[in-house]
Amino acid sequence: MLVACVAPATAQVTPAAGYVPPDDTPAIKVGAVIFTDYTVQQKPKIKDADGNDVTSSAFNVGRAYINVTGNISHNIAFRITPDITRASGTADTSLNGSYTFRLKYAYAQFNLDDYLNPGRTGSWVRLGMQQTPWVDFMESVYRYRFQGTIFEEREGFLSSSDVGASFHYSLPGNYGEIHTGFYNGETYSRPEVNDQKGYMIRGTVRPLRMHPVLRGLRLTGFYDKDAYVKNADRTRGIVGLTFEHKYLNASFDYLAATDQASATKPPPASTAVDAHGYSFWVIPKAPNGWEGLFRYDHLEPNTSASGTRKRVIGGVAYWFPHQGTVNTALLFDIDEATFDHFVVPQPTQRRFALHALVTF
């Protein structure tokens, strides 16, 4: 005999939570980034066409990105970014010295959060011309690329973009992240010329993620293993400490690099050159949009020979009030580079500049 069990009329049953499917509607966005400045080079003087000693000055456009980003679905995204450069040595001589566009980023991104990070974001695979692990991370903290590139890029050891395949994984609990990939190693501005590929990996940890102040402290290690040709190393290792707070951003990083142009040619091409250097900067921030900038770079380009390059940057900036991802800033700065104890003496370089940033 079957007996039906009926719940009392007064019982309340909580309905099951409804499932909200991810939004797979294709979308596309267009944005822009503009760096422009007026720069006066106080030292060294230059000579004009008549041979007069003059102080160089110029209005410049340093960057003009057009960002096209979008989603095919919640799992597939893309980015296309052309940027300007000064043309030189072109077949059409009328373009020499003109601003022309070239490709800076162009990649497809396959999001892996559904499989690796349920309920979280930040895990993906990218294919194409894309940001490199160290420069992209450091610039997210530094924010002053519109004044000039970070230490390792400015000294020619790394590039902000290269062509390759990379993987990014966000650690659980906001403890950090890993970004690694294989790249051509020739940067975005040059084609691949041989069979050698660069392997890059960056690991970042946030040791005190629950501390009200020190949660902004992150320790990062980076390694780049590449080669100019077979058995001719091009390696870079970096350790860095960064700190982010609403009133202060700061960083210190140390670089060790090795470059060997050839494995078979006679010296100096086959001689490995070791370089060491470090950079630190601080950015005090006021609630009303004013910020300061102080940065010091120190490089020994060849530890087996005399010569040290030093750079000091000091400035004051104002970041205009904004909404969303729009940013507008003005920066006045002094940038001085000195060259000590080189066999061939080099003059001090000193520049005063007013920089402007617009991004949306």
**Average pLDDT of the residues in 168-174:** 91
Quick check: 88 pLDDT over 90? no
pLDDT for residue 147: 97
- The tens digit of pLDDT for each residue in 276-292 reads 999 999 999 999 999 99
Quick check: 69 pLDDT over 50? yes
Percent of the chain with pLDDT over 70: 92
Token pair listed for 46:
């230059």
CA-to-CA dists, residue 214 to 210, 218, 243, 294, angstroms: 8, 9, 8, 21
- The tens digit of pLDDT for each residue in 101-150 reads 899 999 999 999 988 888 788 999 999 999 999 999 999 999 999 999 99
Going from N- to C-terminal start, the domains of the chain cover 27-359
- The tens digit of pLDDT for each residue in 219-249 reads 999 999 999 999 999 999 999 999 999 999 9
Q: Which of 204, 138, 133 is nearest to 162 (CA)?
A: 133
Place of tokens 């022309």: 100
* Minimum mean pLDDT range among 61-65, 90-94, 189-193, 268-272: 90-94
The top-level CATH class assigned to 27-359 is: mainly beta
Q: Are 360 and 326 in contact (CB under 8 A)?
A: yes
pLDDT for residue 37: 97
Return the exposure string of 247-274: e unless at least 16 CB atoms fall within 10 Å of the residue's CB, then b: eebbbebebebebbebeeeeeeeeeeee
- End-to-end, the C-alpha distance of the chain in Å comes to 72
pLDDT for residue 58: 94
pLDDT for residue 174: 87
pLDDT for residue 23: 80
> Regarding predicted confidence, which is higher, 214 or 96?
214
Cα separation, 351 vs 62, whole angstroms: 15
Place of tokens 């900067």: 281
Alpha-carbon Rg for the chain, nearest whole angstrom, is 25
Amino acid at 314: G
pLDDT for residue 16: 52
3-state SS, residue 354: strand
CA-to-CA dists, residue 355 to 39, 294, 322, 332, angstroms: 8, 15, 18, 6
**Average pLDDT of the residues in 302-318:** 96
Quick check: 38 pLDDT over 70? yes
Is 59 buried (19+), middle (13-18) or exposed (0-12) by CB count in 10 A?
exposed
Cα separation, 133 vs 318, whole angstroms: 29
How would residue 91 be classed by pLDDT, with cut points 50, 70 and 90?
A: low
Token pair listed for 183:
């790249």
- The tens digit of pLDDT for each residue in 179-211 reads 999 999 999 988 899 999 999 999 999 999 889
Quick check: 9 pLDDT over 70? no
Q: What are phi and psi of 2, to 5 degrees?
A: -95, 135
Quick check: 1 pLDDT over 50? no
**Residue 6 CB neighbours (<10 A):** 6
**Average pLDDT of the residues in 28-38:** 95
Contacts of 266-271 with C-beta under 8 Å, sequence gap 24+, read 270/232
3-state SS, residue 133: helix
Q: Are 152 and 236 in contact (CB under 8 A)?
A: yes
Quick check: 14 pLDDT over 60? no
Token pair listed for 152:
């390792």
How would residue 22 be classed by pLDDT, with cut points 50, 70 and 90?
A: confident
pLDDT for residue 75: 93
**Neighbouring residues of 35: CB distance < 8 A, sequence distance ≥ 6:** 61, 62, 63, 64, 145, 146, 355, 356, 357
**Average pLDDT of the residues in 80-92:** 80
